[in-house]
Amino acid sequence: MPALGRLAICLALLFAAYATGVSILGALRRRRHLVRSGEHAAYAVFALVVVAVAILLRALVQHDFSLEYVAAYSSSTLPLRYTVAALWGGQKGSLLFWAFMLTLFTTIVQLQNRERNRELMPWVTATLMTTAAFFLGLLTFVTDPFERLPIAAREGADLNPLLQNYWMTIHPPSLYTGYVSASVPFAFAIAALATGRLGDQWIRSVRRWSLFSWFFLSLGNLFGARWAYEVLGWGGYWAWDPVENAAFMPWLVSTAYLHSVMIQEKKDMLRVWNMVLVLLTFSLTIFGTFLTRSGVISSVHSFTQSGLGPFFIGFLLFVLVVAGGLLAYRLPELRTQATVESFLSRESAFLFNNLVLVGIAFAVFWGTVFPVVSEWVRGVKITVGPPFFNRVNAPLGIALLFLAGVGPVIAWRRASPRNLWRAFAGPVGAGLVAALALGLVGVPLGYAHSTFALGAFVLGTIVQEFWRGMRARQAMLHESPGRALSRLVGKNRRRYGGYIIHVGVVAVFVGVAASSVFRVEVQQTLAPGQETAAGKFTLRYERITKQDDPHVSRLAAVVSVWRDGKAVTTLAPEKRFYKKPQQPTTEVAMRSTLTEDLYLVLGSYDDESGLVTILAYVNPLVSWIWIGGIIMALGTTVTMWPTPAERREPAYALAGVRAATD
């Protein structure tokens, strides 16, 4: 079977190369049958990759330890869900998984566009298949997931214990989905540049794909944060590790694009800028993959050198040269006459938002590559850590939050004093009231205070928008409030879905600001029966419990939690010792509420004296980060939901085809 898997990958590579070549040929010579042939080859690539994935999965589930990959990333005692997750737990498998997602999306895009965008499609297919060929080439020539061990291992080395976690089953797939689906807008951008069809058509065709990619990047980042929070046991959720930054940068640029593309659709401005953002998002996904696999930049995720770095850098350069060249070639046609008419206008607010987002992305990029750059330039490695990223990004984040309140309600073209008053009197009032109230309850001035007050301002603009829209419908159409509200959202999904996303963003901002600024951290060594204080809580260490099974043995400290003399709960942070890769891991115990999380870690345990060291963190409002994520997901769903007209469209198209053939 493994030989068959390898064969499938080799064949897929051949078909991908064929699809690329024949699609371009078909486009240049305007031969329909060649273009169709390219598309069919792309379907075949997908089918072959599915076969390869199925064979690798089968080997994992059947514990075929004659395969190097299976022996390295799973074991016979590993639970089934992690055995399946081992598919993306290692380098080779994750590259295969990447190829799988990419060819799946290629298939979907081709099916969606059988009757549409026929001029663009050969280039779209060629671009996607070039990318697929790159990954399949790596799998064929450099890092073969079906490599056999000289002698079959008796038992696997097992999946890293840190990865044996619920989030492992959903975080990497979300992130890969976000990463890989960014290829689709990129492919359309290349197609637009190659054909010179630079109007809005390509942008409208990939609107949903851009949102889809952004959505999964958002989810992937949040899942990753949640994973780090639950598993790594240092009380935080984001450490500005290069690998985290790798996923954050394309998200930032993609966010910028989703905003600026609205300006292009409404005003036909920023065509060059938007093109650059799409190309940059894709390049950053490749750069991110490079970061995680090359070992060029040390990170907790990837200390080891894997030798894949040069290939990724090569491919990245190829992408930048081709995309940059095409962009330069079409630059005169892309430029438009329209410019920003006023400093106080929605266009300019959106542009400033874009500059800040790209500025943050640049700062993150600079901080991430700084060690490498300093080594080139000065011969010594100089690093910047989390303090750098926090210092730079906190003020930029505040600016962004402010613009999130301004952008959606300020007038297009040019805001008049009257319009400004009408749009901002209420929200600014809400922000000021919040600022004052927070001051009165003792929140000190600073980043957290500003974030809360600006959050109130942003929420004020959103509530006002919903309220005014609802009232207008009620007045004109005599609808009930509930019906008016649901119709309002239903008829303007993109706009109101966007507002809902902003509500989620505010929640995330509030959670991040509160938990960064007001967090309490205590480390205390305790004997049984001893107590320590952590914020408003009193912690009493009761006893240690021990448990042993063949896969893992556990050591748990039972800690009772008190507040104002009343028992709140009992928590039991653990140390686990996994038997196969002999390694201890930390199991955090948490009491999570809407106001704060009490987060306990068992630091150490001394068998002789019975002393334990407990690390306790009180993280205020952390839950709102996850709640904000759920709100963002809801908002994105509203935004992406097809409108009735769109849902009918394929039927029309089909009817048209039928009428033509009758």
Partner 1 sequence: MLEKRRFIVGAVLIAGAVSYLIYAGVRTTSMYYFSLDEFLSSREAHADEDLRVKGWVRHGSVHWDPRTNDLAFDLAHQDDSNPVPVGYRGVLPDMFSEGREVVIEGRYSGGRLAAHQIMTSCPSKYEPAKAGS
The residue ranges that bind partner 1 (CB under 8 A) are: 71-73, 89-91, 94, 153, 157, 160, 162-163, 233, 292-293, 298, 300-304, 306, 339-343, 348, 351-352, 355-356, 359-360, 362-363, 366-367, 370-371, 380-385, 387-389, 391-392, 395-396, 399, 523, 525, 581, 583-586, 601, 603-606, 609, 611, 613, 615
Which residue intervals of 160-298 are DSSP H helices? 166-181, 183-195, 201-205, 207-231, 242-267, 271-294
> In whole angstroms, what is the distance from residue 529 CA to residue 527 CA?
6
Least separation, in Å, of the C-beta of 295 and partner 1? Answer: 8
> In whole angstroms, what is the distance from residue 626 CA to residue 225 CA?
9
Contact 360, 403 (CB under 8 A): no
Least separation, in Å, of the C-beta of 200 and partner 1? Answer: 24
> In whole angstroms, what is the distance from residue 18 CA to residue 1 CA?
26
Closer residue to partner 1 in complex, CB, 73/251: 73
Other CB atoms within 10 Å distance of the CB of residue 335: 9
Closer residue to partner 1 in complex, CB, 58/391: 391
Closer residue to partner 1 in complex, CB, 30/381: 381
Closer residue to partner 1 in complex, CB, 35/67: 67
First CA to last CA across the chain, in angstroms?
48
Least separation, in Å, of the C-beta of 472 and partner 1? Answer: 31
User: For residue 403, how many C-alpha atoms fall within 13 Å in the half-sphere facing its CB?
Assistant: 22
The values of phi and psi at residue 475, to 5°, are -65, -40
> In whole angstroms, what is the distance from residue 13 CA to residue 510 CA?
48
Dihedral of CA 181/183/189/194: which sign?
negative
Least separation, in Å, of the C-beta of 362 and partner 1? Answer: 7
Closer residue to partner 1 in complex, CB, 372/425: 372
CA-closest candidate to residue 454, choices 396, 497, 509: 509
CA-closest candidate to residue 573, choices 597, 551, 590, 561: 590
Closer residue to partner 1 in complex, CB, 22/243: 243
Least separation, in Å, of the C-beta of 238 and partner 1? Answer: 16
Least separation, in Å, of the C-beta of 610 and partner 1? Answer: 10
> In whole angstroms, what is the distance from residue 662 CA to residue 660 CA?
6
Closer residue to partner 1 in complex, CB, 446/656: 446
Least separation, in Å, of the C-beta of 598 and partner 1? Answer: 18
What's the token pair of residue 320?
């930048």
Least separation, in Å, of the C-beta of 293 and partner 1? Answer: 6
Least separation, in Å, of the C-beta of 611 and partner 1? Answer: 5
Closer residue to partner 1 in complex, CB, 304/661: 304
Least separation, in Å, of the C-beta of 342 and partner 1? Answer: 5
What's the token pair of residue 155?
């038992």
Q: Which residues contact 169 (CB under 8 A, 6 or more apart)?
A: 81, 82, 84, 85
Q: List, edge to edge, every strand of the sheet that includes 520-526.
A: 520-526, 612-620, 596-605, 589-592
Closer residue to partner 1 in complex, CB, 294/623: 294
Least separation, in Å, of the C-beta of 240 and partner 1? Answer: 11
Least separation, in Å, of the C-beta of 434 and partner 1? Answer: 25
Least separation, in Å, of the C-beta of 369 and partner 1? Answer: 12
Question: What does the DSSP assignment read for 400-427?
Answer: HHHHHHHTTTSPSS---HHHHHHHHHHH
> What b-and-e string marks burial along 566-587, b requiring 16 or more CB atoms within 10 Å of the CB?
eebeebbbbbbebbbeeeebbb
Least separation, in Å, of the C-beta of 24 and partner 1? Answer: 34
Closer residue to partner 1 in complex, CB, 364/443: 364
What's the token pair of residue 285?
């996904």
> In whole angstroms, what is the distance from residue 261 CA to residue 401 CA?
19
- For β-strands 566-571 and 552-563, DSSP reports them as antiparallel
Closer residue to partner 1 in complex, CB, 5/233: 233
Closer residue to partner 1 in complex, CB, 71/631: 71
Closer residue to partner 1 in complex, CB, 611/633: 611
CA-closest candidate to residue 273, choices 332, 335, 339, 202: 335
Closer residue to partner 1 in complex, CB, 302/636: 302
CA-closest candidate to residue 540, choices 558, 522, 555, 556: 558
Q: Which residues contact 376 (CB under 8 A, 6 or more apart)?
A: none
Amino acid 425 reads A
